[in-house]
Amino acid sequence: MRGYYTADEVRAAEAPLLASLPDGALMRRAAHGLATVVAAELRARTGGVAGRTITVLVGSGDNGGDALWAGAMLRKRGVAATAVLLKPEKTHAAGLAAFTAAGGRVAAPSDDLGLPDLVIDGIVGISGRGPLRPDAAALVDRIEAPIVSADLPSGVDPDTGAVDGPAVRAAVTVAFGALKPVHALGAAHCGRVELVRIGLSLGDVGITALDAADVGAAWPVPGAEDDKYSQGVVGVVAGSDGYPGAGVLCTGAAVTATSGLVRYAGPCTGEVLAHAPEVIATAELAKAGRVQSWVVGPGMGTDDAARRTLRTVLDADVPALVDADGLTLLAEDPDLVRSRTAATLLTPHAGEFARLTGKDPGPDRVASVRALAADWNAHVLLKGRATVIAEPGGRVFVNEAGGSWSATAGAGDVLAGIIGALMAAGLTPDRAAAVGARAHSLAANLAARGGGADLSAGRGTAPISAGTLLAHLRESIRVLRAGVSPEEMPATS
C-alpha cells in the first residue's frame, strides 16, 4: 500500500528532522537522490554521464536549492551544468554557492540556453501554488529537452494535482521523502515517478493506493470448503432493449472477476446468455433470487419502469453499486440512498457527479468525492485517469491508471460488473472499488499491448474496446495475484 501525503503532512514530518540534523543535511539527501536519478537518466538516454549537459531551472525556494545541490553533485561527475535563476536575489544561497564552487555556470532566463541533454525543474516544490508565473512559463516553453522535476512538476498543485495554466510536463519526477497527491492525481504531468527516501517518519495518511501485491492478496478465490453460493452471488440489473451491450459487458465482467454465481434480471436475457451461458437470467426482478450484492444502472434507461426497478433493488438490504442511468435517476431522489442501512457504492464519471451534486468535481477531486460520500452516507468512486474512491468516513483510495486506454465506450459497464462481484464476495465497497479499479486499468493496459504478462517488453500499443478489455481481465487478475508491481508497467499513452 502506498500513501500520498499532503504538503502540510510532509512539512510536519520534516520538522523534527530539520531540528535534529545539521543545517542543510536533509536538502543534500534529497539532492543526492535527484542527482542519482538524473545521472541514470543521462546514461539511459545518451549512453554516459561525463561530458553531458544539463540546465537547472531555479526558483526562489528550497526546491531551487535541491536542484542547485544536485547540479553541483553532477558537476563533480563531469556534467556541464548551467543554472537559470528566475529570482536571482532570492536564490537558495548555500545551493548556489555549492553549484558555482563546483564549476556550474549561471545564466539569466533571457540567455541562449543551447540544447542540453536534460533539464532539472527546481522552480517550485510543495509550496508552489497556482500555475507557473509568466517568466517561468516563458522559460519552460522554450525547452525541448526532457525534464526531470525536483519533487513535483512545477505549476501542478501539490495536494490536488490540478493544472490551471502553464505547468511543467516532466519525463521523470523525483519525489522527496514521500509521495504527494500530485503524483497520483497529476500523473500525466509527472511522467515516471521515483521516490527518494530522506528519513521522514510519516504518520497516518488519508490517501492511499493499493499495490499489485495488495490487490492480488485481496482477490477472492474459492477455498477448499467453498461452493458456488458461499463465494457470494452478485445480481446484475443492466441493459435495455436499446442498450443490450451494457447487460452483456456487466454480467461478463462479473462472471470473469470471481467464481461462484452471477444472476441477471432485465430484458436482455437472450443476449446475456448468448455471451455467458453460466449466468442465471430472468426478465423479472422479483424472480431473480437471493444475492449478496446488486449492480444496478448500466444502460437500464431512465423511464418510470427503470425508476421502479431501481427503487426495488435499493430496498433490498444488501450492498448495492449504482452506475450510469441509475445515477441519473438517483439525482432526483437521493433519499433512496440516504435511507439505506446496507452500503451503497456510487460510481459516477465527472458528468454524472455534476448531476448528483449540482456541480463539477472541480480542481480538488479528493475533497469533492469525500464531500459527496459524507453527504449521502455512501461510498463513491469518481472515474478518471486517476480514479478517486472515498467512504463516508473520509478514507480515500486512488488508482492511477498508467494510461487512458479505458476511456472507451462500455468500459464503465465492465468496471461495475467487476466491483459488484467483489462486493458480493465480501469486500467493503471502497476496497472492492480500489481492487476492481486496479484490475480494470491493468486489463486495459494489457489489452492495448495485445496481452503478455511481460509488461516491460517494448511492444507497440493499439486502441482497445470494452470487449477486449474484458477479454484481458483474467490475465490482469493473474498478473496481480502473482504480485507483479504496477510500477514495472510502462506508461501506455
Residues placed in the known binding site: 62-66, 121, 125-131, 151, 154, 246, 299, 349, 383-387, 412-413
Q: Rounded CA gap, 425 and 438, in Å?
A: 17
Distance CA 119, CA 147 (A): 5
Cα separations in angstroms, 177 against 150, 158, 180, 296:
12, 14, 9, 43
Q: Which of 26, 210, 388, 455 binds ligand NAX (CB under 6 A)?
A: 26
Burial (Cβ within 10 Å: 0-12, 13-18, ≥19) of residue 108: exposed
Which of 55, 63, 292, 441: binder of ligand NAX (CB under 6 A)? 63
> How many residues sit in the footprint of ligand NAX (CB under 6 A)?
27
Q: Which residues contact 176 (CB under 8 A, 6 or more apart)?
A: 30, 33, 34, 66, 125, 150, 151, 196, 198
Nearer to ligand NAX, 30 or 207 (CB): 30
C-alpha cell at 166: 502553464
**Is the CB of 145 or the CB of 471 nearer to K ion?**
145
Cα–chain center distance at 240: 32
Write down the least CB distance from residue 56 to K ion, Å.
11
Q: Which does 208 bind (CB under 5 to 8 A by kind): ligand NAX, K ion, none?
A: none
Site string for ligand NAX, 98-137 (x = CB under 6 A): -------------------------xxxxxxxxxxx--x-
Inter-CA distances, 237 with 269, 282, 295, 437, Å: 11, 10, 6, 20
Tell me the per-residue interface mask from 103 to 122 with K ion, x by CB under 5 A, - otherwise. Answer: ------------------x-
State which of residues 4, 5, 13, 30 lies at the interface with ligand NAX (CB under 6 A). Answer: 30
Task: Compare residues 150 and 253 and give the one whose CB is closer to K ion.
Answer: 150
Dihedral Cα 166, 167, 169, 172, nearest 10 deg = 170
- Minimum CB separation of residue 151 from ligand NAX in Å reads 4
Q: How far is CA 236 from CA 241, 251, 280, 448, in A?
A: 16, 6, 10, 27
CA proximity to 166, closest of 143, 191, 185: 143
The 3-state DSSP class for residue 356 equals helix
Look up residue 82 and give its amino acid. T
Residues listed for the chain: 493
Q: Which stretch binds K ion (CB under 5 A): 141-149, 253-261, 351-359, 402-410?
A: 141-149
CB of 150 to K ion, least distance (A): 5
CB nearer ligand NAX, residue 61 or residue 384: 61
**Which of 167/281 has CB closer to K ion?**
167
Under DSSP, is residue 234 helix (H, G, I), strand (E, B) or coil? strand
What CA–CA distance (Å, rounded) separates 307 from 442?
Answer: 34
The answer to whether 57 contacts ligand NAX (rule: CB under 6 A) is: no
Q: How many CA atoms lie within 13 A of 431 on its CB side?
A: 15
Q: Which of residues 195-214 bind ligand NAX (CB under 6 A)?
A: 198
Q: Which is nearer to ligand NAX, 68 or 336 (CB)?
A: 68
Q: Which helix (H) or strand (E) holds 388?
A: strand 386-390
In degrees and rounded to multiples of 5, residue 491 shows phi and psi of -60, 140
Between the CA of residue 396 and those of 175, 304, 344, 374, what are the distances in Å? 21, 35, 16, 12
How far apart are CB 182 and ligand NAX at their closest, in Å? 10
CB-nearest residue to ligand NAX: 125
Q: Which of 53, 60, 240, 258 binds ligand NAX (CB under 6 A)?
A: 60
The listed partner (ligand NAX, K ion, none) that binds 209, CB under 5 to 8 Å by sort, is none
- 154 is an interface residue for K ion by CB under 5 A: yes
Residue 413 contacts which entry, ligand NAX, K ion, none (Cβ below 5-8 A, type-dependent): none
> Of these partners, ligand NAX, K ion, none, which one is at the site of residue 289 (CB under 5 to 8 Å by kind)?
none
To the nearest whole angstrom, how small is the minimum distance from the Cβ of residue 185 to ligand NAX? 16
Residue 149 contact among ligand NAX, K ion, none, beta carbon within 5 to 8 Å by kind: K ion
80 DSSP β-pair partners:
53
Residues that bind K ion (CB under 5 A): 121, 149-150, 154
Q: Which stretches of the chain bind ligand NAX, using CB under 6 A?
A: 14, 18, 26-27, 30, 59-63, 66, 123-133, 136, 150-151, 176, 198
